[in-house]
Amino acid sequence: MIPTRFSLPSRLPMLALAAGLAMVAGHAPARAETVTVFAAASLKTVLDDLATVFQDKTGTEVTASYAASSALAKQIEQGAPADVFISADLAWMDYLTERSLIRTETRSNLIGNSLVLVTAKDSPVTLTIEDGFDLSGALAGGRLAVGEVTAVPAGKYAKAALEALGAWDAVSGSLAEAENVRVALLLVSRGEAALGIVYATDAAADPGVMVVDTFPADSHPPIVYPVAVTAEADSPAAAAYVDFLAGPEAQAAFEAAGFSVLQAGN
């Protein structure tokens, strides 16, 4: 008896003929439109959900790359094929604006966030964030996970908050700096860092951590996520995707995920 695994090749000529006839008859499947989005790592959960909604509504596929805003902006500068950029701070969108790499008429401030101190879900740590708070004592010799403090927006916000509250000098030697905020979150969730500073929305997305306290809003620059179509965008649907993100359906999803929705231009 001939093994069944050899039966498939015998059908290939027939399948190829059928495919060829379908193409001749004009029934070749249409290629779906695609929008390529470069977005801050903290947006992954909500943007993945919204990509499905957008595709269902428009037939346009959304392909997203998530990383630190700094890394994504540098990639766009180097010619990476992105249609839309969503940064976790204003500085990296300004960086691309200064280099004429975004279409300024499409730029707007989309959403906001807050900054929190997190620890593993079974940790006994309790701490109130205020001027002079003893973050070093709470670490008890452990590491503080943050985004890279000179480039990653979450890390820059964290450093600004710790400096404003007088805690930076005591903990600056205990940092576990990560390439993006989701990696910092993972270090805490896995118990590889005693504490971490991340966005509130990241903490809500990971059941392995709990929020110790929230940083006062005035201890760091406002956390703003601007969005824009890139100058080299080649997807006709890029502007429609940006409009969708500012629409009521996406705004409701952002709010459900813990983001604050901003008025255009704020």
CA distance 183 to 189: 10
Low-confidence ranges of the chain (pLDDT < 70): 1-32, 263-266
CA distance 266 to 69: 19
252 contacts: CB under 8 Å, gap ≥ 6: none
CA distance 11 to 262: 57
- What pLDDT is recorded for position 262? 87
- What pLDDT is recorded for position 202? 95
pTM: 0.84
- What pLDDT is recorded for position 263? 59
- What pLDDT is recorded for position 82? 97
- What pLDDT is recorded for position 251? 96
Beta strands in the chain (DSSP E): 34-40, 61-67, 84-86, 108-112, 115-120, 144-147, 175-178, 195-199, 209-214, 224-229, 260-261
C-alpha distances (whole Å) from 243 to each of 15, 59, 114, 176, 264 are 43, 16, 24, 38, 11
Radius of gyration of the chain (CA): 23
Do residues 123 and 193 make contact, with C-beta atoms less than 8 angstroms apart?
Answer: no
Domains detected in the chain: 34-112+224-261 (3.40.190.10), 115-219 (3.40.190.10)
